Amino acid sequence: MKLFQIEEPDGSPVDPDAPGLAIGIDLSGTRADVAVSVGGNAVVLTDRDGFAVDLTIPAPTAPPAVWQELFEGARLRAERALAQPVTHAVIALAALPDAAMAALLMAASEAAGLELLQMIVCGQLAPGEEPVLAAAMLAEDMAPRSEGAAPQG
């Protein structure tokens, strides 16, 4: 009889309490875009054929549960594309939200399992800078690291 052992590629077990990846989410249009950055190189994430996630941005007056569904969809898109847990996000907005809207976004993202690291305003970006990519790069920079872990990616 032969015995063998299956291990993670680096030989160590995965820590379920370790922070996951951080993503950028652009909420400045009618549909949300999701991106990730690794080593300062950001890329927009898309759904696989047959697994489309509806990321239509709700009206500002929509109930918190609808906003939570949007954040859950963004997280699902990222986790499917990356095959890794996603736990943090930076969002890009068309305009600075008022206090009530900012609180709603924070609560909805948290309920969806995403810690919101920062909100950025598209008008404050450099000309030609794509909001979702800028948010992803900022998310990578701000993402918490587990002890002894290398940067994301």
Q: What is the mean pLDDT of residues 61-84?
A: 96
pTM of the predicted protein model: 0.84
Average pLDDT, the chain: 88
Q: Is 133 exposed, middle or buried (0-12, 13-18, 19+ CB in 10 A)?
A: buried
CA distance 99 to 67: 16
Q: What is the mean pLDDT of residues 72-91?
A: 96
Q: What is the mean pLDDT of residues 135-139?
A: 97
Q: Give the per-residue pLDDT at 81.
A: 94
Spatial CB neighbours of 103, under 8 Å, sequence gap ≥ 6? none
The percent of residues above 90 in pLDDT, for the chain, comes to: 78
CA distance 113 to 48: 22
Q: What is the mean pLDDT of residues 24-32?
A: 97
